[in-house]
Chains A and B, each alone.
Chain A
């Protein structure tokens, strides 16, 4: 069974600081997704990482994928309050498998 673990589960950081959220998964996959969810809202797609070594950046967020280590990171640079949200990573196990397995999420709070 595919397991997806994120850490930390909760993160409180000051504006202007840098931090990294980690996503580990338990079985081979070369597809990983990052989503953002604001309280009471839907999930918004942030990044789709489709191969080993993939790196994508959008504003202050950068995501990377290491399929050999079964690890993805979401790096936050110079955090601002607007980035406060819950971030989920999600992994698909096999080709043809439609089951997207989500991590438990990281609740990020940016303190002014």
Chain B
């Protein structure tokens, strides 16, 4: 079972460059999430989606955009990368949502912005 797959796993960007992280899940989950993890901190929610075609802001949405054109995919975009966006990004999905069910996480994407 593939579960939640993130691409790419590693990426180095220069300040001002743009990129997109792709999250794909094969569990037919309605809910999908993008988190970032920084040293010494827990995960923080960037954006999330409660179904195809929907997106919503999380705790730290500034500088990021997302799209959920297909149920199985959730894209995270950085239009103009900044060094403060250096982090490990985790995608997660859930069948019933964070309130009622567990989240399944991808393996993470490590992004470095120089």
The minimal Cβ–Cβ distance linking B102 to chain A, given in whole angstroms, is 4
Interface centre among A40, A43, A48, A92 (most CB of B within 10 A): A43
On chain A, the residues within 8 Å of B33 by CB distance are 98, 100
Q: Using C-beta atoms within 8 Å of the partner chain, give the interface range for chain B.
A: 20 to 34
Within the assembled complex, what's the spacing in Å between the Cα atoms of A43 and B64?
22
B107 contacts A92, C-beta separation under 8 Å: no
A45 contacts B90, C-beta separation under 8 Å: no
On chain B, the residues within 8 Å of A105 by CB distance are 42
On chain A, the residues within 8 Å of B101 by CB distance are 48
Q: How many residues of A contact B (CB 8 A)?
A: 25
What secondary structure prevails in chain B residues at the interface with A? Answer: loop
Pick the contact of B42 from A41, A42, A96, A104 — CB < 8 Å? Answer: A104
B77-111 CB mask vs A (1 if < 8 Å, else 0) is 00000000000001010000111111111111000
On chain B, the residues within 8 Å of A100 by CB distance are 33, 43, 45, 98, 103
**A88 nearest CB neighbor, chain B only:** B42
Q: Is B31 engaged at the interface, CB distance under 8 Å to the other chain?
A: yes
A43 contacts B41, C-beta separation under 8 Å: no
Within the assembled complex, what's the spacing in Å between the Cα atoms of A41 and B110?
11
Residues of B within 8 A of A (CB): 31, 33, 40-45, 48, 50, 56, 58-59, 90, 92, 97-108
